Amino acid sequence: MLLIKNGRIMDPATETEGVYDMLIDEGRVVRIGMSGTLDDMARESMSMRHDEDYTEIDAGGCIVAPGLVDGHVHFRDPGFTYKEDIESGARAAAKGGFTSVIMMGNTDPHMDNVDTIRDVLDRGSKTGINVYTCGNITMNMEGKELTPMQKLTEAGAVLFTDDGKPIMDADIMEKACIKASELDRVISLHEEDPSFITDNGINAGEVAGELGLTGSPREAEISMVKRDIEIARKTGATIVVQHISAAESVELIRQARREWVKVFAEATPHHFTLTQEAVRTHGTLAKMNPPLRLESDRMAIIEGLKDGTIDIIATDHAPHSKEEKEKSFREAPSGITGLETSLALGIRELVKPGYLTMMELLSVMSAKPAALYGLDAGTIREGSVADLIIFNPDEEWVFDKSLSKATNTPFLGERLPGKIFFTVCRGKIVYKAD
């Protein structure tokens, strides 16, 4: 049993806010009451069950919010566990306030078969947080043959994606959308046409030129977003544009949503925080697909979050080894870690400047992704699963060490706002600050 007292509960699913006590038992929220009103109830329950564990947390001065939900993480497991594994990824997630994550399928073997999906879900269930997985759209992520999508859904896949690779064959994409709609699943898309790209991971522009690179032009993303909006319009499918990076892509989605096309988009913390200028300072630590672009693109993403065009923040947590990231810019892999800094960057870059309220930030980091992917998460109410985070948005902390296996992030060493004190999943404390 867990009693959380004096916390400022913020539930973005109902837009409820107030200072309350909360009693949690058997993994669910039993009662929410005014401060000081639940002590007797807790004592009475304890007296009836003498062997029951009991913990009390005074959350005075802190926000108590739903556990964060990340619909896009790479735990590199199976196949590349020198970068990350399910256990280390889950620890990093809990430290960052995430109680639910969805793993991507560019693993070895891929998430294109029932056995692999069942294996990762079984191991994920032992981590303390809710670990979900995608199913791949095509076999071996080759873009040629659809996976057995119904069987993967029955095995537990909560969305479909070939993340890291776009679906270049429009006929395959259309068939995938039709099948996903039948299965009530979302198609999540990496939108970069490789025919436009000479050097990936860096915006085609001034900074790339300084490094002797051509880079990735914005048209690589825009062209794919435009095509797939039309396929979603035709099929009625629900699609998600992953890690959106270009202002034009944001506007395409804005217009499509006005026409009731079911297209959603992810914003990553690095895309609403950094621009291509970060490559000058951080080198390969600022290399990712799609790349960091211009200040005008960064502000377009923020405006998209502000007006509801962009529904979710996802980290695209992409760990790599130190040795890999120390290669030349052209040879180093793309991607940065993000689970432990996502909330902090949202507070610093979106809430403190006044672009989003705290409730709006929590919504795009919990309630909205949970609703989109059909997860039992994203709310705090009586009877709900007790997944939550306790944090002080104004207290600063230094990101000086990571619980991930990897540290490929430009934010390591920074002082950030939003200290997380506790992460609770299914009523159990899975992270507690030092």
Average pLDDT over residues 192-213: 97
- pLDDT of 52: 66
What is the average pLDDT across 134-139? 98
Residue 127's pLDDT band, with cuts at 50, 70 and 90, is very high
* Mean pLDDT of the region 216-240: 98
What was the pLDDT predicted at 38?
81
What is residue 121's predicted lDDT score, i.e. its pLDDT? 98
| Average pLDDT for 59-85 | 98
Alpha-carbon distances of 162 from 55, 79, 110, 191, 364, rounded to whole Å: 43, 16, 9, 10, 23
Structure tokens at 182: 């039948």
pLDDT at site 181: 97
Helix, strand, coil content of the chain in percent (nearest 5): 35, 25, 40
Percent of the chain residues past pLDDT 90, beyond the cut: 95
Residue 166 clears pLDDT 80, i.e. is over it: yes
Element (H, E) at 31: strand 28-34
Would you call 225 helix, strand, or coil by DSSP? helix
Asked if residue 50 has pLDDT above 60, the reply is no
**Would the pLDDT of 132 be above 80?**
yes
Comparing 434 with 229, which gets the higher pLDDT? Answer: 229
Is 316 a residue of the active site? yes
Q: What's the rounded Cα separation, in Å, for the pair 151 and 57?
A: 43
Fold adopted by 68-373: TIM Barrel (3.20.20)
Q: Where in the chain is the domain with CATH 2.30.40.10?
A: 2-64+383-432
> So what's the pLDDT on residue 44?
72
Q: CATH assignment of 2-64+383-432?
A: 2.30.40.10
pLDDT digits (tens, 9 = 90+) for 241-260: 999 999 999 999 999 999 99
Over the stretch 320-339, which tens digit does the pLDDT of each residue have?
999 999 999 999 999 999 99
**CB-based contact 173:228 (threshold 8 Å):** yes
Average pLDDT over residues 413-431: 98
Q: What is the mean pLDDT of residues 406-410?
A: 98
In the prediction, which pLDDT does 47 show? 62
Mean pLDDT computed over 216-228: 98
Which residues are CB-contacts of 28 (< 8 A; sequence separation ≥ 6)?
Answer: 383, 384, 385, 386, 427
Return the pLDDT at 363.
98
pLDDT at position 46: 67
419: left (phi over 0), alpha (psi -120 to 50) or beta: beta
pLDDT score, position 12? 97
Task: Tell me the per-residue pLDDT of 276-321, one tens digit each, with 9 for 90 and over.
Answer: 999 999 999 999 999 999 999 999 999 999 999 999 999 999 999 9
Q: Strand order of the sheet with strand 312-313?
A: 159-161, 186-189, 239-241, 263-267, 312-313
Contact 287, 281 (CB under 8 A): no
Q: Can you tell me the distance from the alpha carbon of 69 to that of 109, in angstroms, rounded to the nearest whole number?
A: 25
Instruction: Give the pLDDT confidence score for residue 30 in this predicted structure.
Output: 95
CATH 3.20.20.140 segments of the chain? 68-373
* The pLDDT of residue 49: 64
Q: How confident is the model at residue 86 (pLDDT cuts 50, 70, 90)?
A: very high
pLDDT (0 to 100) of residue 54: 86
pLDDT at residue number 434: 84
pLDDT reading at 51 higher than 60: no
Residue predicted with more confidence, 149 or 434: 149
User: Which residues lie across from 193 on neighbouring strands?
Assistant: none
pLDDT of residue 48: 61
Asked if pLDDT for residue 8 goes beyond 70, the answer is: yes
pLDDT at 40 over 80: no
- Picking from 332, 284, 330, 337, the residue whose alpha carbon sits closest to that of residue 83 is 337
Give 263's pLDDT tier (boundaries 50, 70, 90): very high
Mean pLDDT of 273-278: 98
Q: Which residues pair with 425 in a beta bridge?
A: 428
Catalytic residue selected from 77, 228, 316, 387: 316
Helices 247-258 and 295-307, interaxial angle, to 10°? 20
- So what's the pLDDT on residue 41? 77
- Which positions ≥6 away from 174 have C-beta within 8 Å? 231, 234, 235
- Average pLDDT, rounded, for the chain: 96
